[in-house]
């Protein structure tokens, strides 16, 4: 069962969560001087950027502005996580791997 902060989804015919069924999400982004997206965040619509309900990624680019890596923040256990458990306002303070 998805965490309470994960966007709402639907069950498939085998009563498992269908990862392709999640509806609209709020999107936040931060861009660098080259207009590259460097942080992206998703949460349920209406979520506060100050609450720990965000899935965040950090994107790294090479000198030619080609995307190289998409990293995930480490949670309280020090493990990279795709869960909706991070605070958007704290995105720059997280350790990414």
Residue 81 has which token pair? 């996580």
Instruction: State if pTM tops 0.85.
Output: no
Average of per-residue pLDDT across 61-78: 96
Whether the per-residue pLDDT at 74 is higher than 60: the answer is yes
As a whole number of angstroms, the distance between CA 76 and CA 15 comes to 31
Say if CB 21 and CB 10 are below 8 A apart. Answer: yes
Say if CB 27 and CB 40 are below 8 A apart. Answer: yes
Residue 16: predicted pLDDT: 73
> pLDDT band at 3, cuts 50/70/90?
low
Whether the per-residue pLDDT at 12 is higher than 90: the answer is no
Q: Name which residue leads in pLDDT, 75 or 46.
A: 75
Residue 14: predicted pLDDT: 75
Whether the per-residue pLDDT at 83 is higher than 80: the answer is yes
Whether the per-residue pLDDT at 57 is higher than 60: the answer is yes
């Amino acid at each position: 069962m998805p965490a309470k902060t994960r966007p709402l989804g639907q069950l498939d015919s085998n009563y498992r969560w269908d990862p392709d069924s999640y509806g609209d999400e709020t999107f936040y982004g931060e861009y660098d001087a080259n207009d590259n997206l460097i942080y992206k965040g998703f949460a349920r619509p209406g979520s506060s950027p100050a609450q720990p309900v965000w899935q965040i990624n950090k994107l790294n680019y090479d000198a030619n502005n080609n995307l190289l890596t998409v990293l995930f923040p480490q949670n309280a256990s020090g493990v990279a996580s795709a869960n909706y458990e991070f605070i958007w306002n704290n995105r720059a303070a997280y350790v990414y791997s």
